[in-house]
């Protein structure tokens, strides 16, 4: 683990972002406009595979990511957000600066990850966009961000058409976010061959980044002065990575058929991932210094590249070392922090390179890691014999889907493949107006509503046919891992859509081929069984969506219009009756997919028998009269107060198929389980509280005499105090602004914390952590932006007590956002006020009202600065300004 001391700023007083930003743009040597000296580029490849359920367009809970909802969220809070707000610390661990690392990193962020960030943390998303814009301003129009092939497929293994679509989707996604064309593109796993280069060149990509092991030979570019130059063999990673190279297409036009290539420094990049180089900014700078060439070349670039998740996720806290290196360590050594595009603009290639035929950075056997049992990514004794049959099966499916797409697509589109290439514009914006414009632009004639649905189904079929090639499916040791299952789910959705449009049945021949992929796990045996157990079970129909809505409606009062994942649900009729412990709801529902526009008009009836027992039936709407008759029969059956009679009536009217709690989507199922257990847990809380009260004296006696406390009594104390704490915290959160009431609730919570400490209780209240964090952030924002002058001191005091309460309860509060909010106001509001007081002349006499006002202001500022200390912010400079 990296400690705070390891990643702190070596000299707190030296940190001054504005000064050092100017140091980066010094006009003495002007390295930003003329290739002079040493340039440093640190590239982060930020990527998460698409994890969304293909039917719901959302990521479901992933228990392995606990305490977070899923792995995207976990890595976000460990890496993506910390790099947007990287701390620079003093020797006391206090923040003296907050740096947006994306402003100095060269980076690519996969489109699937950027889409997730846009939906889930717009603040970080905007920080990334702003960082690229600022780097453009600093580096003569060359931004830090580069594009990525859309969903991380291994380009040498893709067919020609998919290569182009991946590049075009990557470019369009990039353009829609960064408002500029990408100059470079990151290839998944840096996997490359010459046909991939040809596609990149045709699409206007200027440069790529590769591993040094991917170069075969290089030479000085021939010139008029030296028309013949000698090739140097560098196939063993001997290529000099401090310069850019030009790579020409074999047999192409040397005036236009080329792309420029940067090779990152392999040894340093490996050390960043697998040693302690990132534990301290001085270590990182020292390691980079070892790569600086001592010859007399005018300029050189030391570039390193690694997975962006290294900075914070794989190596905790290392975003801090990176931030300080960018702001202080590199400029102190006279190095210019830059990106590939900027360096290329200053220093066009003087060398030519030829590549090995087919290579990647994470496989020593070309690209066999994604198609063969090459041993890379192996799990000890486990084989990867499943890789080749898996790719063969998917290639077969892809080719079948091409036939379906071309044959059916000609009926709807002017040019089906051009339509697919532009479909990314719909993926980015699925609003009805945008989809309508897209279809109008590409249709070969006016389409009926049913034909619009089929057109969108075809395009979604092709999107899933691309997603099923996401590289992660082959990367690890076993097919049944989540990554392999995910790409099979995309394949299943693609073949299902093909059946909906063209009536073709592709699943059986696909499974026949998939059965040739042997699993390392005896239970699964082969890929077809993986598909049956882990893929088919995840498929979702309109009936399941309706059942989800119906059962949930017993616990949620839905409005007439409601979104259910990627479906729009319109409630056309709804009636609910309760009789004893039985609850029956009957309704009419129209569901419309936001993705394919397909719809269903359904009727549902759901009976809750109490506890965990639900009986839900779904059928198509057959007309108003049959629906009205059905309702009457069901509610007549309910009046008999017999669950058996009601279920019998439901089965007679709907048939034998039914749904229960287990058929709900996992998120909603968990919510309903919690609701159903609430009453039981409340009774248990009351019981434990009574046991605790009755035995409080006994408990204290055990602790006073330092005797082991009986487990039953200790558990009763912990449950009782946890319950009291949550009740008091909810009351504090919901209080309506009455100051005395708020103080009373706060005092009660402090008393509970003290009591828990005396009894050595470990309170189990994870929900209290988030509640208290939100209260602190909300109160701080109000204090800094909408304060009541009459209650400022009391408000500050309350905030300090809230922070202390979190520590007393051992909640492990994450105060990052509160710290960021305070830090921004420290420089924009608090520090200027401290300076004004220090510079003001004070010819006031004792008792003068103006003097009393200033003294009161000083007292408030001191209290506000004390709050900053509580939040871990260095406020020493401001304190020194106050008399």
Q: What is the pLDDT of residues 129-149, one digit of tens each?
A: 999 999 999 999 999 999 999
On whether the CB atoms of residues 426 and 438 are closer than 8 A, the answer is yes
pLDDT category of residue 88 using cuts at 50, 70 and 90 = very high
* Confidence check: pLDDT of 8 > 70: no
* Confidence check: pLDDT of 5 > 60: no
CB contact burial 230-268 (16+ within 10 A = b; e otherwise): eeeebeeeebbbbbbbbbbbeeeeeeebbbbbbbbbbeb
Beta strand residue intervals within 351-476, DSSP E:
351-355
**Radius of gyration from C-alpha coordinates of the chain:** 32
pLDDT of residue 854: 64
Residues 218-245 have pLDDT tens digits of 999 999 899 999 999 999 999 999 999 9
Residues 626-644 have pLDDT tens digits of 999 999 999 999 999 889 9
Three state DSSP letters for 661-704 = HHHCCHHHHHHHHHHHHHHHHHHHHHHHHHHHHHCHHHHHHHHH
pLDDT of residue 20: 45
Residues 27-37 have pLDDT tens digits of 456 899 998 99
340 or 676: which leads in pLDDT:
340
Q: Apex CA 43: angle with CA 37 and CA 44, to 5°?
A: 160
Residue 512 contacts by C-beta under 8 Å, 6 or more apart in sequence? 528
Q: Span 844-871, mean pLDDT? A: 73
* Confidence check: pLDDT of 428 > 70: yes
Residues 567-576 have pLDDT tens digits of 999 999 999 9
Q: Which of 788, 785, 778, 793 is nearest to 861 (CA)?
A: 793
Q: Span 532-536, mean pLDDT? A: 96
pLDDT of residue 6: 40
Q: Give the C-alpha distances (Å, rounded to integers) separating 853 from 786, 832, 837, 880.
A: 20, 18, 12, 20
pLDDT of residue 90: 93
Residue 678 contacts by C-beta under 8 Å, 6 or more apart in sequence? none
pLDDT category of residue 301 using cuts at 50, 70 and 90 = very high
pLDDT of residue 739: 74
Query: CA–CA separation, 15 vs 95, rounded Å?
Result: 11
pLDDT of residue 15: 45
* Confidence check: pLDDT of 22 > 90: no
Query: CA–CA separation, 610 vs 604, rounded Å?
Result: 19
* Confidence check: pLDDT of 25 > 50: no
Query: CA–CA separation, 197 vs 356, rounded Å?
Result: 12
Q: Span 65-83, mean pLDDT? A: 95
DSSP 8-state code for residue 828: I
* Confidence check: pLDDT of 125 > 50: yes
pLDDT of residue 394: 98
pLDDT of residue 257: 96
* Confidence check: pLDDT of 24 > 60: no
Q: What percent of the chain has pLDDT over 70?
A: 94
On whether the CB atoms of residues 466 and 166 are closer than 8 A, the answer is yes
Residues 37-47 have pLDDT tens digits of 999 999 999 99
pLDDT of residue 831: 83
Q: Span 71-76, mean pLDDT? A: 96
* Confidence check: pLDDT of 469 > 70: yes
For the record, the structure tokens of 178 come out as 């960064």
pLDDT of residue 788: 85
Which neighbouring-strand residues pair with 587?
574, 604
174 or 9: which leads in pLDDT:
174
Residues 249-274 have pLDDT tens digits of 999 999 999 999 999 999 999 999 89
* Confidence check: pLDDT of 178 > 90: yes
381 or 845: which leads in pLDDT:
381
Q: Span 497-509, mean pLDDT? A: 97
Query: CA–CA separation, 444 vs 869, rounded Å?
Result: 66
pLDDT of residue 10: 40
Packed helices 624-638 and 643-654: angle between N→C axes, nearest 10 degrees: 160
pLDDT of residue 849: 57
On whether the CB atoms of residues 22 and 101 are closer than 8 A, the answer is no
Q: Span 738-754, mean pLDDT? A: 88
pLDDT of residue 736: 65
Q: What percent of the chain has pLDDT over 90?
A: 82
Q: Apex CA 749: angle with CA 744 and CA 755, to 5°?
A: 125
Neighbour tally for 452: CB within 10 Å: 19
Q: Is the pTM of this model over 0.85?
A: yes
Taking all residues of the chain, what is their mean pLDDT, rounded to a whole number?
Answer: 92
Q: Span 375-393, mean pLDDT? A: 90
């Amino acid at each position: 683990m990296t400690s705070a001391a390891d990643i702190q700023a070596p000299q707190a007083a030296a940190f001054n972002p504005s000064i050092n930003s100017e140091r980066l743009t010094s006009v003495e040597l002007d390295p930003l406009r003329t290739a002079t000296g040493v340039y440093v580029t640190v590239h982060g490849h930020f990527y998460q595979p698409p994890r969304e359920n293909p039917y719901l367009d959302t990521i479901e809970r992933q228990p392995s990511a606990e305490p977070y909802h899923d792995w995207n969220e976990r890595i976000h809070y460990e890496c993506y957000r910390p790099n947007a707000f990287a701390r620079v610390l003093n020797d006391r661990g206090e923040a003296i600066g907050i740096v947006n690392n994306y402003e100095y990193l060269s980076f690519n962020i996969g489109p699937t990850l950027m889409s997730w960030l846009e939906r889930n943390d717009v603040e970080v998303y905007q920080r990334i966009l702003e960082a690229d814009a600022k780097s453009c301003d600093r580096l003569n129009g060359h931004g830090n961000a580069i594009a990525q092939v859309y969903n991380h497929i291994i380009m040498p293994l893709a067919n020609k058409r998919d290569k182009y679509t991946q590049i075009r989707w990557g470019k369009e996604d990039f353009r829609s976010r960064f408002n500029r064309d990408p100059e470079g593109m990151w290839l998944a796993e840096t996997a490359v061959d010459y046909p991939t280069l040809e596609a990149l060149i045709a699409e206007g990509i200027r440069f790529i980044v590769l591993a040094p092991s991917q170069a075969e030979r290089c030479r000085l570019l021939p010139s008029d002065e030296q028309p013949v130059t000698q090739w140097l063999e560098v196939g063993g990673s001997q290529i000099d990575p401090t310069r850019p190279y030009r790579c020409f297409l074999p047999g192409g036009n040397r005036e236009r058929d080329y792309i420029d290539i940067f090779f990152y420094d392999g040894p340093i990049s490996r050390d960043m991932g697998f040693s302690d180089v990132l534990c301290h900014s001085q270590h990182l700078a020292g390691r980079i210094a070892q790569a600086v060439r001592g010859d007399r070349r005018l300029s050189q670039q030391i570039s390193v590249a690694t997975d962006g998740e290294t900075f914070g996720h794989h190596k905790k806290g290392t975003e801090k070392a990176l931030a300080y290196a960018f702001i202080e360590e590199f400029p102190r050594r006279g190095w210019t922090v830059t990106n590939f595009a900027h360096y290329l603009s200053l220093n066009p290639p003087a060398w030519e390179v030829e590549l090995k035929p087919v290579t990647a950075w994470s496989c020593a056997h070309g690209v066999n890691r994604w198609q063969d049992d090459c041993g890379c990514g192996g799990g000890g004794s486990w084989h990867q014999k499943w890789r080749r049959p898996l790719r063969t099966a998917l290639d077969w499916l892809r080719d079948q889907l091409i036939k379906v797409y071309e044959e059916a697509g000609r009926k709807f589109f002017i040019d089906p493949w051009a339509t697919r290439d532009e479909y990314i514009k719909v993926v980015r914006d699925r609003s009805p107006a945008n989809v309508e414009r897209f279809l109008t632009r590409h249709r070969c004639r006016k389409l009926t509503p049913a034909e619009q649905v089929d057109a969108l189904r075809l395009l979604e079929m092709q999107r899933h046919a691309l997603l099923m090639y996401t590289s992660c499916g082959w990367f690890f040791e076993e097919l049944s891992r989540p990554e392999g299952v995910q790409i099979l789910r995309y394949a299943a959705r693609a073949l299902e859509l093909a059946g909906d449009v063209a009536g073709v049945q592709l699943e059986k021949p696909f499974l026949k081929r998939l059965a040739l992929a042997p699993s390392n796990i005896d239970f699964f045996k082969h890929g077809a069984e993986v598909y049956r157990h882990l893929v088919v079970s995840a498929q979702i129909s309109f009936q399941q969506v309706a059942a989800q809505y119906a059962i949930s409606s017993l616990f949620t009062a839905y409005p007439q219009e409601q979104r259910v994942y990627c479906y729009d649900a319109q409630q056309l009729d709804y009636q609910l009756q309760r009789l004893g412990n039985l609850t029956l709801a009957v309704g009419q529902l129209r569901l419309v997919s936001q993705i394919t526009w397909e719809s269903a008009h359904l009727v549902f009836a759901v009976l809750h028998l109490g506890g965990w027992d639900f009986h839900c039936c779904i059928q198509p709407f057959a007309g108003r009269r049959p629906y009205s008759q059905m309702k009457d029969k069901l509610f007549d059956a309910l009046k008999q107060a017999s669950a058996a009679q009601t279920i019998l009536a439901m089965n007679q009217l709907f048939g034998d198929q039914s749904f229960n709690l287990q058929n709900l989507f996992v998120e909603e199922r968990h919510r309903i389980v919690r609701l159903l257990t609430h009453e039981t847990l409340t009774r248990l809380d009351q019981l434990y509280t009574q046991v605790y009260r009755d035995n409080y004296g006994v408990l204290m006696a055990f602790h006073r005499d330092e005797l082991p406390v009986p487990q039953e009594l200790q558990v009763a104390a912990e449950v009782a105090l946890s319950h009291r704490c949550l009740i008091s915290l909810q009351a504090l959160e919901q209080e309506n602004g009455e100051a005395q009431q708020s103080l009373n609730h706060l005092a009660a919570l402090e008393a509970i914390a003290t009591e828990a400490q005396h009894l050595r209780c470990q309170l189990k209240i994870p929900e209290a952590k988030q509640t208290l964090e939100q209260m602190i952030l909300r109160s701080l924002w109000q204090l800094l932006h909408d304060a009541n002058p009459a209650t400022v001191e009391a408000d500050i005091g309350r905030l300090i007590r809230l922070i202390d309460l979190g520590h007393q309860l051992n909640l492990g509060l994450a105060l990052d956002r509160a710290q960021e909010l305070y830090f921004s106001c420290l420089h924009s509001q608090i520090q200027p006020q401290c300076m004004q007081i220090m510079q003001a002349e004070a010819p006031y006499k004792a008792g003068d009202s103006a003097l009393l006002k200033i003294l009161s202001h000083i007292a408030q500022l001191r209290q506000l600065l004390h709050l900053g200390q509580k939040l871990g912010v260095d406020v020493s400079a401001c304190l020194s300004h106050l008399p």
